[in-house]
Structure 1
Amino acid sequence: MTRRSTNQRGEPDIAAGERALRVFDLAIYRRLDGLLLAEHAGRRPGLGGELADVRIYSPGQDDARRIDWHVTARSAEAHVRTSVAEPELETWVLVDGSASMDFGTAGMEKRDLAVAVVSAVHALTDRPGNRLGAHLLGGVEPRTFPPHPGRRAARVLLRALLAAPRTPPGHGGLDLAAGLERLLREHRRTGLRVVVSDFLPRTPDENLSWVPPLRRLAVRHEVIAVQVTDPREAALPDVGLLRLVDPESGRTAEVATSDRRLQERYARAVADHRAVTAMALRAAGADHVVLRTDGDWVGDIARFLAARRRTARRRVQAFR
């Protein structure tokens, strides 16, 4: 895929977006189909939807957390709750569309990679009855795309995300923390939640402010945090005196990029921020995968999901 194309007025090139969608289809459906939902599930493993019945507890077979203590007290024998499985999965993707996502020095911009992730999520959850919705942060105001089933609805969603206007530098609006709060408040049905962002704060006060709402989100839902990065963000190139613009605040500064100590401080700061972000995501209970604009993002997602399934199997075996 090539970097996002725009017309003479700076608007997204819809024809280029359509070509990008075809690339997404070819890359994703051939390599990712079935990896997430090989065993169809519409909820968290081990939890059902509505109460169906109770039965006598079987040690070693039943989860002790499912014991119904009211029935147990009345009968003087341990009973567990059984639930009706929810066959449908409702997935919501929170897409960070802040100004820092309009950056890319490799095959695509970070915003394009975020749209590719939404396409991958649809391919992974595309089963009868399953629905996919999205919240887009940034732009003039946040946008909500209600969940719909089917591939045609997913393509409408992807076109809308590709055509979304860029966020002006210094624009306010909802930050990632507020977006997570909204996601938790408005969509309470248990399902899959995917957060796609570069996790770069717009201001120092916003750094890691998203951790508490993400932790609350992970208590109720399966949460996958997708961190999108670009190779030029990790190191400051030696290109002499450079005028830089902060995409979030719009502030400018002239930087002597040939300064070796400045390059080292910059690299350390980026590495420290990424390490802290990774630790915070794990502590919040979210699965974490890092994708690069110059990498094989489809392969990275496939490897992440394969590792995730192996970990889930080990947990089940250890519990038994």
Structure 2
Amino acid sequence: METKELLKKVKEIELKTRGLTKQVFSGEYHSAFKGRGMTFSEVKNYQFGDDVRSIDWNVTARFNEPFVKVFEEERELSVFLVLDISGSNNFGTRLKSKKELMLEVAAVLAFSAVANNDKIGAIFTTDQVEKYIPPKKGRSHALMILRELILFKPKHTRTQLDIGLKFFRNIVKKRSICFVISDFYDENDFYDALKIANRKHDMVALRLYDPAEKELPNLGLIKMFDAEQGVVKWVNTGSKKVRDNYTEQYEESQQKLHDIFRRSGVDYASLSTEGKYLMELNKLFLTRSR
């Protein structure tokens, strides 16, 4: 992609998603992803209803009347995007591919972080960590992440999410918000890595999917390309048994994924390439705000 074409595409993404960010997530982002750290602010006279555990006994003894410590939330956050750029995310039959959807979702989250004066960083992952972008504040840094996501060519095509999650956990020491954006087609077990990361960080999973993945159409004998393994397979979609087996396996995989998120305590949303992802993101933000 030429520089001029790249800049035009990034500008289009910024204009589209910045408007959506202001319109849809005006206050939800701040309330959904609050800083978890608390810092000491001041002491005040004890009033009925104050938590007795907050009494400052040194000040109380000095003035011979009860005082309590007042803490305030550490608002500044670091937001990380763990982006699965493996081969399966190139698939798409509707308005956009899963990779294009990932770009838009990443832009919405990045500009939400910028608007809230939070740092934003990214990890590109396949079955290896392909690229790490340390968190920084500001629009220019968010735009740089989007440019990299558009241009970056991964060396690998397969998925192993636990690799990216372990890297995130090892390199990020301060509690952060982490969005894992993927279709979660991973033959490897990433439950432990996700659960351990969620103990320290605020992990959120965003599953990307295309409606055509739910069931096979009846198109007879067709050639299908496995983007992760790089092989071509012939599939007899004219067979009802083949189609039913595919649907059953898909539903089982989605139930397994739901169970992984539930057991690890990670909030998640499923975002479709049909273009209705904003509603699901907004629903997730509102749920976390309560």
So what's the TM-score if we normalise by structure 2? 0.83
Tell me the alpha carbon deviations over residues 23-78 of structure 1, each in whole angstroms, 9 at most, x when there is no partner: 4334433333324344597522xx42x5678999999654x9xx59xx9xxx9xxx
Task: Say whether residues 1:43 and 2:35 are aligned partners.
Answer: yes
Partner residue, 1:223: 203
Task: Say whether residues 1:259 and 2:239 are aligned partners.
Answer: yes
Q: Percent identity?
A: 21
Say which is worse superposed, 231-240 or 295-304, in terms of deviation.
295-304
Partner residue, 1:281: 261
Partner residue, 1:143: 131
* SS state at 1:252 partner: strand
Q: In the aligned structure 2, how far is the partner of 1:218 from the partner of 1:168?
A: 26
Partner residue, 1:185: 170
User: What is the count of residue pairs matched by the alignment?
Assistant: 281
Matches within 5 A, 1:79-98: 83=71, 85-98=73-86
* SS state at 2:121 partner: strand
TM-fit CA distance, 1:118: 1.2
* SS state at 1:223 partner: strand
Which residue among 250, 253, 262 is the counterpart of 2:230?
Answer: 250
Contact 1:32 1:302 in 2 (8 A): no
Partner residue, 1:101: 89
TM-fit CA distance, 1:15: 5.3
Q: In the aligned structure 1, how far is the partner of 2:271 from the partner of 2:228?
A: 21
Whose helix proportion is higher, 1 or 2?
2
So what's the TM-score if we normalise by structure 1? 0.75
Structure 1 residues 159 and 139: CA distance shift in structure 2, 3 A: farther
Q: In the aligned structure 1, how far is the partner of 2:197 from the partner of 2:69?
A: 24
Structure 1 residues 40 and 117: CA distance shift in structure 2, 3 A: closer
Q: In the aligned structure 2, how far is the partner of 1:103 from the partner of 1:248?
A: 11
Structure 2: unaligned runs, 5 residues or longer? 62-66
Amino acid across the alignment from 1:286: V
Task: Say whether residues 1:292 and 2:255 are aligned partners.
Answer: no
Q: In the aligned structure 1, how far is the partner of 2:3 from the partner of 2:244?
A: 41
